[in-house]
Structure 1
């Protein structure tokens, strides 16, 4: 297995991250054991790792706990997929009956403990409860130290996702009209703002495409790509369902809620 070829085959600016993944693959190969990454990776990374590993003796697997998880932990094995991952699912309950907290509030509260985003998987919010997959080496720390979300008291416990039903992510689906699949056009349509305003958002670094900052207004977006737009939310581009009489595209988007 050639390290240089591996690094050059993965489209990612963080070569230290890819180098660490390569080292873990090598350890799995030498020990015939199961090796895990110690963080959750965005789809743009783990999809590429799964694809390139098909050429190697070591198999790669990805798990984010939830169905269709975006952020996932990778494992490497010369045998089958592991049945368990070093992931705990935390249940964070908002104890306030009067104040509502949302995704960014839960995420911000956890990260305010000094925890990096990469140590957390996708967060799902249901009925004033946040379900958060976390690396097992930090779960006790969060349970013992997280006691407030924004200004609301909370209680954190571990959720047994093996024997209990998993919550499912919910989306708000809508149709937008755009002239093209260029990033500036889609941002304009999704946010209902002018093209100039969308270009300003892009140039100021407030847009992530598949969890990576993108400053190219003419980048072509594809179906199933994820757009994170600061101040507006996170969206998955679903499909084109038709054209208007003026030839514009009718696109279904799903907003994470």
Structure 2
């Protein structure tokens, strides 16, 4: 069975990219380091790697609970050190008594410098502290150019990985039923909104499936998908459990608390 059969058609380009990297490692016996990958991309890469004996895979995002990670594809028997992932950990100092900065504001400010999302790992906002992980090749640029978040002046400084704030995710499981697995129907059930409201938000580019913008309300959801709707949080499909007597589709899903 081809690896393509496990994923959506629109994911074929990244599958091809990973296959090419894997081929270069096995052919030339050199390691390859990816940019930061979201969990869906990590799943695709693991599937591409399979049980191949000619290459090995290692991932790191800077701390154990990291969501976004860089991956190293290596020749067999290679030893991996933390520095091989070329991560930079940065703390953002700001007057926390006078400003309340959010994850969205930080991401907007980082992207506003011209850095692409794939060069950025997790953004950690917790109890008045802000940290983020970035690719080492953009470290100096960000230290010099990230001088404000929103209207608040900030100063960035490099920190050690051991100083990162560790924040685990807390998911709460729910059950529900939907008439179909269309994006608008599933999000309406999960977020307790009308389908018309969900459709409006989807058309405005405020919905994501597996960390990618989904701007079609008739996009079909699958088991294991991670969803998010701006302003309403993140969720994931745990299981699609068949039909009720009234031909509704049973869903088990988790919502991030």
Q: Distance in 2 between matches of 1:250 and 1:45?
A: 24
Q: 1:181 deviation in Å? A: 7.6
Q: 1:232-243 alignment to 2 at 5 Å?
A: 232-237=232-237
**Which 10-residue stretch deviates more, 91-100 or 139-148?**
91-100
Q: Report if aligned partners of 2:19, 2:48 keep a CA contact under 8 Å in 1.
A: no
Give the RMSD, CA atoms, in angstroms.
3.4
Please report the TM-score for the alignment, with normalisation by the length of structure 1.
Answer: 0.78
Look up the match of 2:60. Answer: 63
Change over 3 Å in CA distance of 1:68–1:165 after alignment to 2: closer
Q: Distance in 1 between matches of 2:130 and 2:202?
A: 30
Are 1:219 and 2:220 an aligned pair? yes
Look up the match of 2:43. Answer: 47
Change over 3 Å in CA distance of 1:12–1:156 after alignment to 2: farther
Change over 3 Å in CA distance of 1:213–1:249 after alignment to 2: same
Look up the match of 1:123. Answer: 123
Q: Distance in 2 between matches of 1:94 and 1:186?
A: 39
Secondary structure of the residue that 1:157 maps to in structure 2? strand
Secondary structure of the residue that 2:130 maps to in structure 1? strand
- Which of residues 67, 79, 82 is equivalent to 2:80? 82
Q: 1:193 deviation in Å? A: 1.4
**Which 10-residue stretch deviates more, 203-212 or 112-121?**
203-212
Q: Distance in 2 between matches of 1:202 and 1:45?
A: 22
Change over 3 Å in CA distance of 1:8–1:252 after alignment to 2: closer
Q: Distance in 1 between matches of 2:119 and 2:173?
A: 31
Q: Report if aligned partners of 1:238, 1:254 keep a CA contact under 8 Å in 2.
A: no
**Which 10-residue stretch deviates more, 165-174 or 199-208?**
165-174
Q: Report if aligned partners of 1:93, 1:128 keep a CA contact under 8 Å in 2.
A: no
Look up the match of 1:243. Answer: none
Q: Distance in 1 between matches of 2:3 and 2:254?
A: 34
Secondary structure of the residue that 1:220 maps to in structure 2? coil
Change over 3 Å in CA distance of 1:93–1:106 after alignment to 2: same
Q: 1:61 deviation in Å? A: 2.4
Structure 2 unaligned spans of 5+: 241-245
Look up the match of 1:156. Answer: 156
Change over 3 Å in CA distance of 1:165–1:250 after alignment to 2: same
Look up the match of 1:191. Answer: 191
Q: 1:178 deviation in Å? A: 4.6
Q: Report if aligned partners of 2:3, 2:47 keep a CA contact under 8 Å in 1.
A: no
Q: Distance in 2 between matches of 1:236 and 1:69?
A: 17
May I ask how many residue pairs the two structures share in their alignment? 246
Structure 1 unaligned spans of 5+: 241-245
Secondary structure of the residue that 2:255 maps to in structure 1? strand
